[in-house]
Structure 1
Amino acid sequence: MTKFIGTGVALITPFKADLSIDFEALERLVEHNINNGTEYLVISGTTGESVTVTAEEKKMLVEFISKVNNGRVPLVLGIGGNNTASIISEINNTDLSSIDAILSVSPYYSKPTQEGIYQHFKAIAEVSPKPIILYNVPGRTSSNVLPETTIRLANDFKNIIAVKEAGNNVHQYLELLRTKPDDFLVLSGDDDLALGVALAGGSGVISVIGQALPKEFSEMIRLGIAGKAKEAYKTHFDLMPITRLIFSENNPAGIKAVLEALNISESHVRLPLVEATDKLKNDIKSALKDLGKS
């Protein structure tokens, strides 16, 4: 699935002051990414505040982004959770005609065993009409999808094509890369480790900071995939301060503060998240100035 090699970005859902969706800002964000090298867009992931976006709003987001995109880059839609039957129902009742793959997070809160995780994704794979990207993010789900479970799924189901690995665990990345099938994609979900993963044989990243700085970030990942470490690390080092800052309070408050500073969207988030503090906003502005972005 070469369309998912490179940089995908986990789009925010921009809100107005009244917390309704800001579709004008969303169009600016989509165009900003497509015009600056992002390879594909991810809709309704964690960064998109999927847990506080209603089912009707999610449908509106898919329709709007699909219209703006107009087939220019692949689209990935987040459909996941800890109720397997509910996920299957959503897949069966969602218009996926404009969607190229589904991103499905491992079950959170319930803390299933590895066999439970396997059976969960098996049930999803058996009904999904679209390729599936597994999403492992132990810091949010409180359970880790071990490499052997991911590789078991990759071997057993041809429509499970990739994993977005976001455990911030270098050893786990390397174990996945060592044991994966040849055509299975290992995608970084950790912006700070993405270049190292690409250089080690990974296929790219689903990024948060990439949507604010798509030209620089996507080129860095392309250099990494090509094995050009020296050139790629120059950009990596430049981006380290801003990447660290956006995760210092909560995601997506940090990236929304960056996008506000770039005049793309405002920084409003929905409860229980709160907006970035004034200190973080000022630190972000300073970091952007250092990058020549102000």
Structure 2
Amino acid sequence: MTFTGVYVPLITPFDATGAVDLDSLEALARQVLAGGAAGLVALGTTGEPAALSAVEQRAVVDVTARVCRERGAALVIGANSVEAVRALRDRPQVSAALSLVPPFLRPGEDGVVAYFEALAAASPVPVIVYHVPYRTGQSLSAATVRRLAAIPGVAGMKLAAGGIDAATMELMADPPAGFAVLGADDAFVSPLLALGAHGGILASAHLATDRFAELVRAWQAGDAVRARAVGHQLTGLALALFAEPNPTVLKGVLHAQGRIPTAAVRLPLLPAGGDSIRAALECQPAGLP
């Protein structure tokens, strides 16, 4: 399949006892898909997967898989090892694995390519590379991204370069055929779409989902006037939501809206401050919840 449009990397809501609130998770999944999201991401970094037990992780995937099956939507699962992608064989609803460029080790570009060759060979579903160099410490040239795109089974990239850098410009000047580029720096997604990106994996799209979907459609239709207007509006929201570590502000906003029972996060995250939450609430596009 071709990965286009808006994919929402779902938070993991917690109830007053600290347990995962699966009912709220299901409600969020249904809300964003009804708002125009093309699919969901479960166990992405926004969902705090490292803080979830294996039982909790399975429950999250069970819920999101059921909703995506009912809605005919794509489901992408965070999977960052050969063992994790192999486990997706038992998940027929899964459309792709989202796999992080190896962090901290900085294996070099040849090492990254070899790593994704191994992941793709083991995976029963297409692999989407998650490239976020300001977190992993590993930069990738446009030439290396093209090498990744040539690996059988690698379908695209979640690109979070911290802005529109030279490597991104070079890549988007001649993007690999059949390789989806999905923006993941929420505040920069509009200019990346203007360069030809296929969509985005956007935590901010928990809110104003229909506007983010409209943003993608407008750029794809070549309606730059409309796209710029929507993009400018959504940039302020994205900046406000990322004023503190993700997803702390987002959870605060969702709780304030009554969409999740608490704003709780798990360590090492701490809840966002009230000022950040109020600022994000004030930045939502007019006429939307």
Aligned to 2:155: 161
The counterpart of 1:281, out of the listed 277, 280, 286, is: 277
Q: Which moved more, 1:89-98 or 1:35-44?
A: 89-98
Aligned to 2:63: 64
Point out where structure 1 has 5 or more consecutive residues left out of the alignment.
Answer: 81-86
Aligned to 2:117: 122
Aligned to 1:74: 74
**Over residues 194-230 of structure 1, what are the superposed CA-to-partner deviations in whole Å (9 max), with x where a residue is unaligned?**
1211121111111111122111111111111222111
Instruction: Give the C-alpha shift of residue 18 in structure 1.
Output: 2.5
Kindly tell me the number of residue pairs found equivalent between the two proteins: 285
Aligned to 1:83: none
Aligned to 2:27: 28
Aligned to 1:113: 108
CA distance in 1, matches of 2:197, 2:282: 32
Instruction: Give the C-alpha shift of residue 49 in structure 1.
Output: 0.7
CA distance in 2, matches of 1:258, 1:175: 37
1:249 maps to a residue whose letter is E
- Whether the 8 Å contact between 2:186 and 2:235 is mirrored in structure 1 is no
Instruction: Give the C-alpha shift of residue 269 in structure 1.
Output: 0.5
Runs of 4+ in 1 over 4 A off after TM superposition: none
- Whether the 8 Å contact between 2:113 and 2:144 is mirrored in structure 1 is yes
Secondary structure in structure 1 of the residue aligned to 2:187? coil
CA distance in 2, matches of 1:96, 1:176: 33
Instruction: Give the C-alpha shift of residue 293 in structure 1.
Output: 4.1
- Whether the 8 Å contact between 1:196 and 1:224 is mirrored in structure 2 is no
Point out where structure 2 has 5 or more consecutive residues left out of the alignment.
Answer: none
- Whether the 8 Å contact between 2:40 and 2:75 is mirrored in structure 1 is yes
CA distance in 1, matches of 2:236, 2:190: 15
CA distance in 1, matches of 2:51, 2:183: 25
1:268 aligns with 2:264: yes
1:279 maps to a residue whose letter is D
Aligned to 2:132: 137
With normalisation by structure 2, the TM-score equals: 0.93
CA distance in 2, matches of 1:107, 1:19: 30
Structure 1 residues 52 and 181, CA gap change in structure 2 (3 angstroms): same
Instruction: Say what the alpha-carbon RMSD is for the aligned residues.
Output: 1.6
Give % identity. 32
CA distance in 1, matches of 2:70, 2:168: 32
1:174 aligns with 2:169: yes
1:158 maps to a residue whose letter is P
CA distance in 1, matches of 2:86, 2:233: 44
Q: Which moved more, 1:145-154 or 1:205-214?
A: 145-154
Q: Which moved more, 1:170-179 or 1:261-270?
A: 170-179
**Over residues 39-87 of structure 1, what are the superposed CA-to-partner deviations in whole Å (9 max), with x where a residue is unaligned?**
111111111112212222111111111123334211000101xxxxxx1
- Whether the 8 Å contact between 1:12 and 1:48 is mirrored in structure 2 is yes
Aligned to 1:186: 181
CA distance in 2, matches of 1:144, 1:16: 38
- Whether the 8 Å contact between 1:9 and 1:206 is mirrored in structure 2 is yes
Instruction: Give the C-alpha shift of residue 177 in structure 1.
Output: 1.8
Aligned to 2:145: 150
**Over residues 214-253 of structure 1, what are the superposed CA-to-partner deviations in whole Å (9 max), with x where a residue is unaligned?**
1111111111122211101111122222211111111010
CA distance in 1, matches of 2:282, 2:158: 31
